[in-house]
């Protein structure tokens, strides 16, 4: 699967209310980071509950869509690659004005599937939402 297709499927799953579908994209353990913090997580029931909370937060703040604009791959080895993804988020409050954001992902090829080992948001989500009147 090409990275663009992987992240289109990921974006589609992120908009749905099925956290297990999102969890499928992640490794058994992974790192999440933004400019102010980094943490490790297990892909378990606690993660599923957190994904449910994220979905509720996004719904509460009017998220309508998330579009993959571009992916840029940097192969590391046969089993690993770094992918920089440019997204646009669509929100009810911003109308046709999409909010651009970037996230870089470290992927591993495990048992025939690519899995997210780490993601690094290029900016803090709360800051972007405040700047666009969403918080």
Residues shown for the chain: 135
Q: Which fold is adopted by the domain 3-131?
A: Nuclear Transport Factor 2; Chain: A, (3.10.450)
Instruction: Find residue 82's DSSP bridge partners.
Output: 74, 106
Question: Strand locations in the chain, DSSP E?
Answer: 26-34, 37-42, 63-75, 80-91, 99-110, 113-121
Give the pLDDT confidence of 65-103 residue by residue, as tens digits.
Answer: 889 999 999 999 999 999 999 999 888 877 777 888 999
For the whole model, what pTM was predicted? 0.88
Among 107, 102, 106, 94, which Cα is nearest to 124's? 102
Give the pLDDT confidence of 21-69 residue by residue, as tens digits.
Answer: 999 999 999 999 999 999 999 999 999 999 999 888 888 878 888 899 9
Contact in structure between 72 and 87 (CB atoms under 8 Å): no
**Sequence ranges of the domains in the chain:** 3-131
| C-alpha 113, offset from chain centre | 17
Distance CA 62, CA 47 (A): 23
């Amino acid at each position: 699967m090409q990275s663009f297709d992987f992240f289109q499927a990921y974006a589609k799953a992120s908009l749905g209310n099925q956290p297990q579908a999102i969890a499928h994209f992640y490794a058994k353990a992974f790192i999440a980071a933004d400019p102010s913090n980094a943490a490790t997580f297990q892909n378990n029931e606690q993660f599923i509950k957190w994904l449910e909370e994220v979905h509720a937060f996004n719904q509460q703040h009017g998220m309508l869509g998330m579009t993959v604009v571009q992916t840029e791959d940097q192969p590391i080895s046969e089993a690993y690659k770094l992918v920089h993804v440019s997204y646009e988020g669509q929100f009810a409050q911003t109308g046709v004005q999409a909010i651009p954001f970037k996230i870089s992902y470290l992927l591993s090829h495990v048992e025939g599937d690519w899995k997210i080992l780490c993601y690094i948001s290029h900016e803090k989500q709360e800051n972007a939402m405040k700047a666009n009147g969403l918080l």
